[in-house]
Amino acid sequence: MTSLSRRAFTGMGAAAALTLATAGLAAPATAAPSTDPTALDPTPFDPAALRAAISDLSHPEATASQLLVERRSSRWYGTAGTADPASGRSVRVDDRFRAGSVTKAFVATVVLQLWAEGRVDLDAPIRHCLPGLALPSRFDRVKVAHLLQHTSGLPDHRGLPDLGTPEAVLRHRFDHWTPRALVATVTQDRLKFTPGRAQEYRGINYVFLALLTEELTGRPYGEVIASRILRPLGLTGTRIPGDDPRPHGPHVHGFLRMTDGSLRDVTVYDQSAAWGEGELVSTAQDLFRFQEALFSGVLLPRRALRKMVTLPPPTVRMLNGTPARYSMGLQAATVNGTTFWGKTGETYGYRTRVFATCDLSTRFVLSYTPTALNAGQDMISRVVDVLTA
């Protein structure tokens, strides 16, 4: 396997095409993770180094961080900063936060469940699967599998607001979008490339997939995720907010640093522009359980899980020429000889990283709250360095 820079965990760095056999996938497990760090054996990793990795809230500037780690059956949980600077309350493992594009892993899991049940053909054109959208005829070439793998070649958006400054984010944070309006922003131009020939990470792919889930089940996609994943696993801190801009319950606040240096709370935010692809609210504890259930085969049969840990062929490359790094709902990164599969999530004021080896021998959930609109990746780099040393 080709080793990657730790920037692969950011979703923006160089990546390598990997073919991962699923023989090492973990056996089914049902035990919920313990989150009491005092009861756990820290031998497989260096707790002091992990604590140092998440305690530097200056690189990048952040108001809070938390890390839940398991390595060879030993677990560690640590936090830094405060969930709410106004009250000074410390972060807890059951605090909710916005998990951004980790949503895609949940949507992909449901789509692959439906595929395993024979209810959808991954080679079916999305135009035929969603006749009510009246998509252009050129969308006949875009298949369900292309959307899952970000190889669809969908056109660039037209009509979305420019959110290039923190002030613009605040101005538009209560804008409301419908899924159909989001789809309409990518139907006006020609496809950027022949579907299946290249890879470009696009959230709109998963808007289509969430719509497909609703078409196949006759229910809102959030309800489908709840019935198939959240309730069976007891993920009581996780929800698809829909039209509700508030996280509810105990939660970690997110902030943005304005250009004048002031700090503004962006916790309350209409997530409809991220419908189907980035609106998940969750907790470190819940994402840890989801991760375990996914790689243990609890949520997917082996043939479906194999698709989640297989990248496109080596001939498929990102638009910048680097190898493809996204599979169906996940992404791959190999650092210091350790290959992880998982998902990054970013939304204003929040960053989440959920990664594991396929045998679950090493896994982690990292959540932190950077205040810069385009924050550096220092924290995830420090954590990965400790775990792969």
Q: Which residues pair with 90 in a beta bridge?
A: 82
Query: pLDDT by residue (tens digit) across 69-121?
Result: 999 889 999 999 999 999 999 999 999 999 999 999 999 999 999 999 999 99
Instruction: Give yes or no for residue 200 having a pLDDT over 60.
Output: yes
Q: Does some domain include residue 25?
A: yes
Query: pLDDT by residue (tens digit) across 218-251?
Result: 999 999 999 999 999 999 999 999 999 999 999 9
Q: Does some domain include residue 380?
A: yes
Q: Does some domain include residue 104?
A: yes
Q: Does some domain include residue 85?
A: yes
Q: Does some domain include residue 323?
A: yes
Q: Which helix (H) or strand (E) holds 281?
A: strand 280-282
Question: At 237, which amino acid appears?
Answer: G
Query: pLDDT by residue (tens digit) across 314-371?
Result: 999 999 999 999 999 999 998 888 999 999 999 999 999 999 999 999 999 999 999 9
CA angle 72, 73, 75 (to 5 degrees): 105
- Residue 24: the pLDDT is 42
Q: Does some domain include residue 1?
A: no
Q: Which residues pair with 310 in a beta bridge?
A: 19
- Work out the burial of residue 180: count CB atoms within 10 Å of its CB; fewer than 13 is exposed, 13-18 middle, 19 or more buried: exposed
Residue 185 and residue 161: Cα distance in Å, rounded?
11
Residue 61 and residue 353: Cα distance in Å, rounded?
17
Q: Does some domain include residue 332?
A: yes
Spatial CA neighbour of 117 closest among 291, 300, 330: 300
Query: pLDDT by residue (tens digit) across 21-55?
Result: 333 444 333 233 344 443 444 458 899 999 999 99
pTM exceeds cut of 0.75: yes
- Work out the burial of residue 143: count CB atoms within 10 Å of its CB; fewer than 13 is exposed, 13-18 middle, 19 or more buried: buried
Instruction: Give yes or no for residue 10 having a pLDDT over 70.
Output: no
- Residue 72: the pLDDT is 87
Q: Does some domain include residue 297?
A: yes
Instruction: Supply the range of the domain harboring residue 153.
Output: 6-387
Q: What's the number of domains the chain is made of?
A: 1
Instruction: Give yes or no for residue 11 having a pLDDT over 90.
Output: no
- Residue 248: the pLDDT is 93
Residue 206 sits in a domain whose CATH number is 3.40.710.10
Q: In the structure encoding, which two tokens stand for residue 83, read together?
A: 């969930």
Phi/psi for 105 (5° steps) reads: -65, -35
